[in-house]
């Protein structure tokens, strides 16, 4: 059993000090200190409101704000001592303030609890995280669109079950990930709007008898609305769950992208070359160029999804209102935020320098009977029922597979014998992958003109989403406590 610590920092309820091991387990300052900007911004808005509501004097409020400024300066400069016996970021800041200005610091906590204080800090943090990660997703989408810009006629096999299936264009393939990333950004921005309510003023769970002005604090901190129920406000972690859920889904999209890059870079595919700066060699095989970064991106999905599951398991059985279990929300949130930031950023840099081999992609269409469906469609156009056409072309593919040949190697005489409904021009069109794309002239298809239109649409949607981020950020712009170092 560890030695007892120096005891609680507040209240006279306890007759003995906290056990040293309990102190270590109980403390969160090792990870929640990263919320210091949010904590200080909330404290400044709170103390200004207390003075305006005549709950504390203007002189006391001025002294508290000046003291908080010195605390911020010390933290920014790396001079601040984070103490485990002060448990968390809130008590470390408050105790440091008392060290500087004396007992008047105790007035800062009037009308609030650490329960609604941490709920506020978390929402302030998440507001920024939602916007920042949405921006990162849009940055990656923009890189993909730049790569796709002139590749509507670059053909390659599309795959199902990892078997060559039908021709698509490289631009169409890259656009699939752009669509995913736009949904990812949209989810983050939608969740931001749901999280953007002020919980401060909820107290420990039942509000406060002091005549606080919650609307005043909300205005200063850029919250358009207040939370509606004090019990819910201090125990709600929906915004963190939504962030982790969006992060897990976004990382799954990146994992799929990473998997395809690993495949496409292999000698079996050779569809892409990745920049040397994003690959590694082998400790024993000098010829190797390994796609380690896409592999690591692929693996990070488990880490982020684990963070989501961790928080859901923390929340699943908690009665109202606040419980200490909620301290376990921050480590998975912070880790997932950092991880998602890194993998979105590294994939954008990697893909900006990727070089796609158009000839190798086109050559892959000459194996695996990729044009078989187009031959069946040509028979349908000649009046053959689709099921009959499907069966006949399937039998033709079986014959070619037995011979070890491809459809393209059949002679005109063999085509005439096997498919008398098709003339030479119809067969040539059916075996041309570009014609195959052009014939698929529906919205959302890989027809080159549709892909070019989609390129413009996606570019506009990225710009619209960026504008939404900018508008949202401007509405939640905070004072210098969040935006710049203290002066």
Q: pLDDT tens for residues 225-259?
A: 999 999 999 999 999 999 999 999 999 999 999 99
DSSP secondary structure string, 244-262? HHHHHHHHHHHHHHHHHHH
Alpha-carbon distances of 355 from 34, 144, 254, 335, 407, rounded to whole Å = 39, 12, 19, 32, 30
One domain, residues 144 and 129: yes
Q: Name the residues annotated as catalytic.
A: 161, 282
Q: At what angle do helices 214-221 and 36-52 cross, to 10 degrees?
A: 140
**Token reading at 297:** 């991106």
Q: Nearest to residue 262, comparing CAs of 252, 253, 272?
A: 272
pLDDT reported for residue 282? 78
Distance CA 234, CA 123 (A): 11
Threshold 0.75, pTM exceeds: yes
pLDDT reported for residue 448? 96
One domain, residues 413 and 467: no
Distance CA 358, CA 79 (A): 56
Of 385, 414, 430, the position where a domain reaches its end is 430
One domain, residues 239 and 309: yes
One domain, residues 102 and 149: no
Its domain, for residue 81, covers 20-110
- Summarize pLDDT for 86-98 with one digit per residue, the tens: 999 999 999 999 9
Q: Nearest to residue 176, comparing CAs of 203, 199, 147, 205?
A: 147
Number of domains composing the chain: 3
- Summarize pLDDT for 411-441 with one digit per residue, the tens: 898 888 888 999 999 988 988 889 989 999 9
Please report whether residue 215 resides in a domain. Answer: no
- Summarize pLDDT for 299-318 with one digit per residue, the tens: 999 999 999 999 999 999 99
71: Cβ contacts below 8 Å, ≥ 6 apart: 40, 80, 93, 96, 97, 100
Please report whether residue 210 resides in a domain. Answer: no
Please report whether residue 256 resides in a domain. Answer: yes
What angle (nearest 5°) sits at the alpha carbon of residue 476, between those of residues 473 and 480? 100
Peptide bond preceding 96: is omega within 30 degrees of 0, i.e. cis? no
One domain, residues 66 and 46: yes
Please report whether residue 11 resides in a domain. Answer: no
Q: Are 333 and 240 in contact (CB under 8 A)?
A: yes
- Summarize pLDDT for 147-158 with one digit per residue, the tens: 999 999 999 999
What angle (nearest 5°) sits at the alpha carbon of residue 259, between those of residues 255 and 263? 170
Distance CA 250, CA 244 (A): 10
- Summarize pLDDT for 267-278 with one digit per residue, the tens: 999 999 999 999
Please report whether residue 437 resides in a domain. Answer: no
One domain, residues 90 and 131: no
CATH code (residue 71): 1.10.275.10
Please report whether residue 219 resides in a domain. Answer: no
- The Cβ of residue 263 has, within 10 Å, a number of other Cβ atoms equal to 16
Distance CA 94, CA 374 (A): 72
Please report whether residue 467 resides in a domain. Answer: yes
The DSSP code for 15 is S
Torsion region of 485: left, alpha or beta (phi above 0 gives left; psi -120 to 50 gives alpha): beta
- Summarize pLDDT for 358-380 with one digit per residue, the tens: 999 999 998 878 888 888 889 99
Mean pLDDT to the nearest integer, 115-120:
98
- Asked whether residue 289 carries a pLDDT value surpassing 60, the answer given is yes
One domain, residues 233 and 351: yes
One domain, residues 355 and 311: yes
Mean pLDDT to the nearest integer, 101-126:
97
pLDDT band at 480, cuts 50/70/90? low
pLDDT band at 409, cuts 50/70/90? confident
One domain, residues 45 and 136: no
Distance CA 358, CA 154 (A): 6
3-state secondary structure 194-229: HHCEECCCCCCCCCCCCCCCHHHHHHHHCCCEECCC
Distance CA 122, CA 141 (A): 28
One domain, residues 273 and 392: no
One domain, residues 309 and 184: yes
Strand-pair partners of 198: 226
Q: Are 129 and 337 in contact (CB under 8 A)?
A: yes
CATH code (residue 292): 1.20.200.10
pLDDT reported for residue 1? 37
Please report whether residue 82 resides in a domain. Answer: yes
Distance CA 426, CA 372 (A): 13
CATH code (residue 409): 1.10.40.30
Strand-pair partners of 272: 356
Q: Are 164 and 406 in contact (CB under 8 A)?
A: no
pLDDT reported for residue 12? 60
pLDDT reported for residue 485? 46
- Asked whether residue 59 carries a pLDDT value surpassing 60, the answer given is yes
Distance CA 243, CA 332 (A): 11
One domain, residues 190 and 72: no
């Amino acid at each position: 059993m560890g030695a007892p610590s120096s005891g609680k920092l507040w209240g006279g309820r306890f007759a003995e000090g906290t056990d040293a091991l309990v102190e270590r387990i109980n403390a969160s300052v090792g990870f929640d200190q990263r919320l210091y900007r949010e904590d200080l911004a909330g404290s400044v808005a709170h103390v200004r409101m207390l003075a305006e509501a005549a709950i504390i004097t203007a002189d006391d409020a001025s002294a508290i704000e000046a003291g908080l400024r010195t605390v911020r300066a010390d933290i920014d400069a790396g001079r601040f001592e984070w103490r485990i016996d002060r448990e968390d970021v809130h008590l470390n800041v408050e105790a440091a303030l008392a060290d500087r200005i004396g007992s008047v610091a105790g007035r800062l906590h009037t009308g609030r609890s650490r329960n609604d204080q941490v709920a506020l800090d978390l929402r302030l943090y998440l507001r920024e995280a939602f916007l920042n990660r949405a921006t990162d997703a849009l940055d990656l989408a923009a890189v993909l669109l730049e790569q796709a810009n002139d590749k509507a006629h670059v053909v390659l096999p599309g795959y199902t079950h990892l078997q060559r299936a039908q021709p698509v264009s490289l631009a169409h393939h890259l656009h699939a990930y752009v669509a995913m990333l736009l949904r990812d950004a949209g989810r983050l921005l939608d969740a931001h709007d749901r999280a953007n309510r002020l919980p401060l003023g909820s107290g420990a769970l039942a509000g406060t008898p002091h005549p606080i002005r919650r609307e005043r604090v909300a205005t200063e901190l850029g919250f358009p609305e207040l939370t509606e129920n004090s019990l819910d406000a201090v125990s709600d972690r929906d915004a963190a769950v939504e962030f982790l859920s969006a992060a897990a889904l976004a990382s799954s999209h990146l994992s799929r992208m990473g998997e395809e890059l690993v495949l496409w870079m292999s000698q079996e595919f050779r569809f892409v070359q990745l920049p040397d700066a994003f690959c590694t060699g082998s400790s024993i095989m000098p010829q190797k160029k390994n796609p380690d970064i896409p592999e690591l991106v692929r693996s990070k999905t488990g880490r982020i999804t684990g963070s989501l599951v961790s928080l859901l398991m923390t929340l699943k059985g908690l009665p109202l209102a606040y419980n200490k279990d909620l301290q376990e929300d921050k480590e998975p949130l912070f880790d997932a935020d950092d991880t998602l930031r890194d993998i979105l950023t590294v994939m954008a840099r990697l893909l900006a320098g990727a070089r796609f081999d158009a000839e190798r992609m086109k050559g892959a269409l000459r194996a695996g009977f990729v044009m078989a469906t187009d031959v069946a469609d040509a028979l349908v156009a000649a009046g053959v029922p689709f099921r009959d056409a499907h069966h006949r072309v399937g039998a033709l593919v079986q014959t070619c597979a037995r011979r070890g040949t491809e459809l393209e190697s059949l002679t005109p005489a063999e085509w005439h014998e096997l498919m008398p409904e098709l003339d030479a021009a119809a067969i040539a069109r059916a075996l041309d992958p570009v014609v195959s794309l052009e014939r698929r002239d529906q919205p959302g298809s890989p027809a080159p003109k549709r892909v070019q239109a989609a390129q413009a649409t996606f570019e506009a949607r990225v710009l619209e989403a960026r504008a939404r981020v900018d508008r949202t950020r401007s509405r939640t712009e905070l004072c210098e406590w969040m935006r710049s170092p203290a002066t």
